[in-house]
Amino acid sequence: MNNKATILVVDDEHGVRQSFNMVLKDEYHVLLASTGEKAINLFQENPIDLILLDILLPGIDGIDLLKKFKQTDPNTEIIMVTAVNDLQTAVKAIKLGAYEYIIKPFIVDDVLTVIGRALEKRRLVRQVAYLRNELERYHPFEKMVGKDKKMKNIFELISVVSQSDGTVLIQGESGTGKELIARAIHNLSPRKNQPFVLINCAAIPANLMESEIFGYNKGAFTGATSIRIGKLEIADKGTVFFDDIDSLDINMQAKLLRIIQEKEFQRLGDTRIIKVDVRFVAASNKDISDLISHGEFREDLFYRLNVFPIKLPPLRERSGDIPLFLNHFFKLYANKSGRPQKGVSQNALKVLMEYDWPGNIREIQNLVERLCTIKQDLVIRLKDITSFSISKKKITDGSLKEVVSSFEKQYIAEVLEMVDGNRKKASEKLDIHRNTLLAKIHEYDLNI
């Protein structure tokens, strides 16, 4: 169920105001004002979606009111109400930002049609503004990548889950692509043409979270100088994604639980109940069960969110996907920059596949961008990636013999690449016999 749009009727004729009220009250929330001064007060105290504004008013006339309303909130749609003999002023109002004009005496069906179009325009303008902001903020991976069995199972789960309206909880380490999964669920769902609204719980201070989610009316608190639409209201009919849900403080968790259950809330400073039809998706890079045991996360909220759990594996558990990601990001950067696509040598690839990637997919993306920016050659070699500490392993990863062997393998491979595979030059540089080098190449399965 949608929250009713609020329409402000401004007309000095009592009969006209009542006529509009009778026509509109069943479908809209209607406010009535007989003067410009009263209209200004109502406009400041209430979130107004549309104004029916008489041109000829005592005191402040309709044109001046139009300018004032548009200056305060450019997205408020205004329909001018005029007599036949004042069409020239109505046309002037259109040039100043009015949506349309209607002529007294009005035809009910015509009025309802114009109002419907104006409100639809307002909804689309708000949605486009939000999506533009999202595009500026978000640089997607373009598509999900992976042939690992675990990821294939997740892809299949996404296709099923997306058709439901049940809540989804995505858990995985930082950089594993949780937001990408959330967007995929939305884009495959029947809500795909509606907003996908992200709320980053870790990035929003606790004292601002309520106003960010619910919005507020003018005067709701110090500094609230205008009306602000909250992200829940923007997400109506779409999907709202709570990233880093574990960062939400315990009091806000209780409020979120109620919203998920009731699908309704109130703006700060407003007594009206706003109903929304949204799907809830949340993500966390922490073990929520552990947070529950320490009293840092509500168990009832966890079960409410965890209707469809999705656990993303870290990249180190699916190393077979590393070449796919490298190729994907090299291609993405080439398309973006207009430069030829780079590749990776076999020896460099071996090191990259042995690396544990603590930053997961995001770390690969960042590495590729740095390599494409700094390195001029089309082939990224082992010597190119060692400067980024990719090949460094923890000293506790193995015995002394294993650590020495790992270093020796990498060093020999780096020297071989440096001399373009010339074994004679490599053995001289390494100060070992050529036969010893050949044995090491065979032992470590080095690609020349």
Sequential DSSP letters for 32-50:
EESSHHHHHHHHHHS--SE
Q: What pLDDT, in 10s, does the model give residues 192-222?
A: 889 999 999 999 988 889 999 998 887 888 8
CA pair distance 338, 381, nearest whole angstrom: 22
Gyration radius (Cα) of the chain, Å: 31
Q: What is the pLDDT of residue 94?
A: 86
354 neighbors 409 (Cβ within 8 angstroms): no
Distant-in-sequence, close-in-space partners of 33: CB < 8 Å, separation ≥ 6: 8, 9, 10, 39, 41, 42
348 neighbors 391 (Cβ within 8 angstroms): no
CA pair distance 425, 410, nearest whole angstrom: 17
Q: What is the pLDDT of residue 403?
A: 66
26 neighbors 34 (Cβ within 8 angstroms): no
Euclidean distance between the first and the last CA atom of the chain, given in angstroms as a whole number: 67
Q: Which of 55, 70, 73 is nearest to 11 (CA)?
A: 55
264-265/274-275 β-pairing:
antiparallel
CATH number of this structure's domain 317-443: 1.10.8.60
Domain limits of the chain? 6-134, 149-313, 317-443
CA pair distance 6, 9, nearest whole angstrom: 10
- Three-class DSSP category at 311: strand
CA pair distance 318, 209, nearest whole angstrom: 36
Q: What is the pLDDT of residue 313?
A: 93
Given this chain, do its domains 6-134 and 149-313 carry the same CATH topology? Answer: yes
Q: How many Cα atoms occupy the beta-carbon half-sphere of 331 within 13 Å?
A: 10
Q: What is the pLDDT of residue 417?
A: 75
Q: Which of 99, 113, 112 is nearest to 19 (CA)?
A: 112
Distant-in-sequence, close-in-space partners of 64: CB < 8 Å, separation ≥ 6: 36
Fold of 149-313: Rossmann fold (3.40.50)
Residue segments in the chain with a per-residue pLDDT below the cut of 70: 1-3, 84-85, 127-146, 387-398, 403, 447-448
DSSP-derived secondary structure for 54-66: ESS-SSS-HHHHH
Q: What is the pLDDT of residue 142?
A: 40
The pTM is what? Answer: 0.60
Q: What is the pLDDT of residue 131?
A: 52
Q: What is the pLDDT of residue 418?
A: 77
CATH number of this structure's domain 6-134: 3.40.50.2300
Q: What is the pLDDT of residue 178?
A: 93
Q: What pLDDT, in 10s, does the model give residues 49-58?
A: 999 999 888 8
Q: What is the pLDDT of residue 140?
A: 41
Q: What is the pLDDT of residue 127?
A: 63
